[in-house]
Chain A
Amino acid sequence: MAKLATKKISPRYRPLSQIATATYDASAEELKTYYRQMLLMRRFEEKAGQMYGMGLIGGFCHLYIGQEAVVTGIQAALRPGDKVITGYRDHAHMLACGIDPRAVMAELTGRAGGISKGKGGSMHMFSVEHGFYGGHGIVGAQVSLGTGIAFAEKYRETGGVTVAYFGDGAANQGQVYESFNMAELWKLPVIYVIENNQYAMGTSVNRASAEGELYRRGESFRIPGRQVDGMNVLAVKAAADEAVAWSRGGNGPILLEMKTYRYRGHSMSDPAKYRSKEEVQKMRAEHDPLDQAKKRLLDAGILDEESLKTIDREVKEIVADAADFATASPEPEPSELWTDVYA
C-alpha cells in the first residue's frame, strides 16, 4: 500500500468550523423577553400535548419542548423582512415569529380559524406576513426551499437573510448538500440551523451519521460552521448574531449546529424507548433552557419570584385563550375542500 502523502494544506484553506463559546450580553429587557417567549412555547406545547390526548388534535403532532432556546435566540438576531423556514416541528417557530397563538392552535385542531384554514395541520403552517414559509412535512425539503427563498432575497437585493432550520435527521438528506453547494457557489444569504436534538425519531446521531459533529458538515462546500450550546439562549443569540452578520454581509451561507434536546417523543405516538429516563431527566435537571434563563433573571435581580409568577399567569392565559379559540372555532365549510388548489 502506498504511503499516504504528507498532508498539504491548500493556501485557500481556512479553519471553517469551530465550537462557539461566546454568550450574548443581554439587557434585562431582552432577557425577560426571551424567558417569556420560551415559556409561551413550553406552555403552548404542553397544552397541545394535552389536547392531542383529548382527541382534539389529530394525526402527527411534534412537540418542541426542551428546544425553546434555539428558535428564541435565532429569531432575536433577525430583523423584520428576514425569512424563516423549518420542518414539521414548527409550532414554536411560529410563536417566535410573532404569529397569533390562536391561529396556530386552531390549525392544530383543524378548524376554520387555523392559519391554513384547517387544511394544513401541525406540519403545514405558513404566514407570509410574518416571513414564515412553513412548516414542511418532507424531511430536508425545507433546506432547498429555504435556499431558494434566500436566492430570491439576493435576486431582489433586499438585504434580507433566510434561516432554514432542520434537524439532525434531515442533515443526512442528499438535497441538503445539493443546497449547500449552490448556496456557497452563489453566496446566498442563508443561515442553516441544525437543531441537533440527538435523535432522528428513534435513531441517535451516532447510529446515523458517519460525521456526528454536524457543524462540520458544510466544510467540503467551504461553508463555515459553529457548534453551539442550544440549551442556552444567550449562546444561541451570540452565534446567531455572528451568522446574521456573516450572511447579511454578503459572505454567503453559514451553518449553526445547535446542540439541543427534546424531552418528549419524536411525535405524540412515540414512547421514546430508545433512550433512558435518566438521560432525559439529566438534561431537564441540568440544562433546561427555561431554568437557565430563570436563574439568570433571579440572580441578576431583574425579576423576583412574584414577578415570575405574574409572567407565568399571563402566559397561561394566552395559551388557555388559544385553546378555547381552537376548540370553539368551527370546522371548515365543506366548500373549503375545493378552494386554494389553484390561483
Chain B
Amino acid sequence: MIRNYLKIAIRNLLKHRFISFINLFGLTVGLTCCLLITTYILNELSYDKYNKNADNIYRVTRSFNNQEGVVSLNLSTIAPAFGYYLPGDFPEIKKMTRLYENGTTPMKYKEKIFNEKNLFFADENLFDVFTVKVLKGNPKTALYDPYSVMLTEETAKKYFGDEDPMDKTIRFNSQFDIKVTGIYKAFPSNAHMHPGMLLSFNTLKDSAVYGERNLQRSWGNNSFFTYLLMPPHFSPQNMIAQFPAFVDRRMSGREYIGNTPSKFTKLGLQKLTDIHLYSHTDYEAEPNGDMSRVYIFSAIALFILLIACINYMNLSTARSALRAREIGIRKVIGARRKELIAQFLGESVLICWAAILLAGALTYLALPWLNKVSGQELSLGALLQWKIIVPVLLTPFIIGVLSGIYPALFMSSFQPVKTLKGLFRAGGGSISFRKVLVVTQFAISIILIITTVIVFQQLHYIQNKSLGFDKERVVTMAYTNEVSRQYEAYRAELLQNTAFKNMTRSSRIPTGRLLDNMGASVLSGDSMRPVTTDIKYVSSDYDFASTFGIRVTAGRFFSREYGTDTASFVINESAVKAVGWKNAADAVDKNFKYGNQSGHIVGVINDFHFESMHQAIVPVVLVMFPASQNYFNNLTVKISGSNIAPALAYMEKTWKKYFPETPADYTFLDENFDKLYQAEQKQATLFTVFACVAIFIACLGLFGLSAFAISQRIKEIGIRKVLGANVSGIVGLLSKDFLGLVGIAAVMAFPVAWFAMNNWLKDFAYRINIQWWVFVVAGIVAALIAFLTVSFQAIKAAISNPVKSLRTE
C-alpha cells in the first residue's frame, strides 16, 4: 500500500513539475530560513551555558536612583568595596570573583607594541567559578602573584610568535613588567565577555597601580565585574532583599541629602545565563543580544514557514480538480476515505521530507553568508543535538500533516459518481478558504514590507540627524601614561602643520556613553543647594569645543587666557534646564559646585548628541580638573583639509617620535558613530533578506494559484474573446479578483504593522513618526507584485487563440 502511494506521489510530482517545483522550492527556502534562524536563536540562547556552574553563577549589578526613585544609571559593574565585603556578610556565597577591565592599554614585548583592548585584572579564583581550559601553567596559582599574567593562545602568538611564552615578561603601559604564568583557551564565542589577557588581581593592591585601600574603601569606581558562585537551589530574591541593609551598613557615613545610601544605590543579581539576552545595563562587557530580537526572528521564521505551507495547501486543493478522477476511481474500487487521507498526507509528508533534506544542504551553504551579515560565529554543530535533531526530523511530518490535512480532507470527500462523470468542479467552499489563505500570505508580506521600510527610515534618520557636533575628519587615539608626559609638546608640534585644526583630550568622546556622575550643587540664597537631576561630567581641556565643532551659546569655553579655568565649568543647555536657570545667558557666572570642586559656570554649549540616538540628551558638565587630578582617556585630532592620508601619515610619524611605547592606533569618529547602529544595521539587513524571501515565496504561490485559476476559466476567456473582448479587458478581469484580495490583506496588515513598529521605535529616544504614506506605498507595492505575478498568466491566457481553447473543451 505504502509503496503504491509512494509511486503515485512521485509520479504525480513529476507529472505536475511546475506546481511540484513551486511547492518544493517554497518549502525548501522556507525551511532553510527556519533552520538558519534556528541556528541563530540556539546560539543566542546558549550564551555562557558552557560553564559547568552556569546555573549557579550570578553577577552583581548596581543601579543609581535619583531623588524621585527613578533609575538614572544602571551598571553591570560595581565598586570594589562591595566585592570586598560581600563574601563575609553573606556566608551562602561559595566564591566571589571579579574582573576589572583596564581599558585600552599599550603593551610591549621587545620591539612589539600593541594596544590591548581586552585586558582584565582577575581574581586568582577565576577558574573555580568559570569553566576555562588552562593549557599551560597551574590554574590554582597562576593568577596569585602580583604582576603575573595569563594569555590566550592568540594573544601569546601575537607577542611571542613560536617562542614559549611562559615566564616571559611584557611591559605594561610603560609602567611595570608583568610575567606570563599561564596560557588559557579563549572563551568560546557564546561567552558574554572575551578577555584576551588576564592580570592577577593582586597587582591592583600595589598603590602605584590602584591600591589595596581603594579596593576596600572605594564605593565610587564602578568598574568591577563581580560574580558570585552560589549553592544549588539558591534563591536570588532572598539575597536581593538583604542588599539594602548591607548597603546601609557598609556605606554608613555616606548619607546624601538626609537619605540612607540604599535609597540611591540598589544592588541586584543577574543570572549568568540571562546576561546575554536580558541584561541591558548602561555598561556591559560586550554588546549583548536581546530577547526581543530572538522573538522577532522566531516570528519571521514562522511567518516564512506559514507562507510556504499555505502555498502547499492552496496549490494542492486547487490542483485537486485534476486528481478528482483518480480519487473517484479509487473510491469505486474500494478505497476508504481514511485510506485516501493517508495517501494525500503521505504525499505532503514526502514533499516536506525532500524539502528538509534540501534545506539542510542549503543551510550548510548559506551559513557563512549569515555569519558575515550577522557578525556571528554560528555553526551547524549547534543543531547536532538530540533535542534539536528529533524535532527537525519530525518537522516534515508536522508540516506535511498541517499543510496536507486540508487538501486531504477536501479531496477525500469527493463524490465518486460526480468525479467520474466529469461533473466535478473545484470550487464552492474551497475557493473562499483559498482566498483566506492568499489574504493571509499577503497580509504577512505587507507587514514585512512596512516594517522593513520603517526600520530603514529610522536608521536613516538617526544616522543623518544633526548631531550638534562635527564628526567628519576627527581622529581619536588612546591617551596613555606615556602620552600624558609629552602631550603639550606633541600638540604644539602637530599644530604647526596646517593640516591639523586642533587637538584635545577628554575622559570620554562623543559616540561613547556618559556614565560618570558626581553630585552638583548651585548657590541658592546663601547656601549651596544640591541639583536633584543627575548631571554627567566629561573631563576635558581647552580645545574640546573647537575640536568637536561644538557651539558655545552663551559665555565662553575654557581658555588658556584665563589662568583660573580649573575652577570653571561649561554646561550644556539641558543642564541649564535641569538646574532651573531661565536660559543660557542666565547660567553664565553662576556659582557651581561639582564633586569637591567649586567654581563658576563660564559658558553654555548647545545640546549635542554625545550618546547614540537610543539615549536622550542628558545634562552634561565639562570639567577641567587640575593637572594633578586630570583624568583623560582619549586624544582627539581634527584634520582641517580634505587631504587626509598625508595628514595621517604625518601624525603617525610625529607620534612615533614622541611616544615610542604607545602604538599609533587611531579610529575615525564617523566610523565610531556608524558602529553605534551596527546591531540595528545588521538586524535590518537580515530582516530585509528574510522579508524578501517571504514575499518571494508568497508570489510563487500566487503565481501557481493564478495559473490554475486561469486555466479553469480558459473556456470563458475563449467565449469572451469570440464575443469581442480585448486583451486588456481580459487581463483586468482575471487580475481583479486577486487585487481585491490584496486590498483586504492590506487592511488587515496595517494595524499589525503599526503596532509592531510603534513598539520597536520606543527603543529610540529620537525617532521618526510613522507616516501614513508608508502604508499606502506598501499596499501599492504588494498590489503591483500581485498584479505582475497574475498578469503574467493572464496575458498569456488573453492572447491565446480562442479557437483552440474552445475546441479542447
- A-B complex is real: no
Residue positions of A touching B, CB distance < 8 A: none
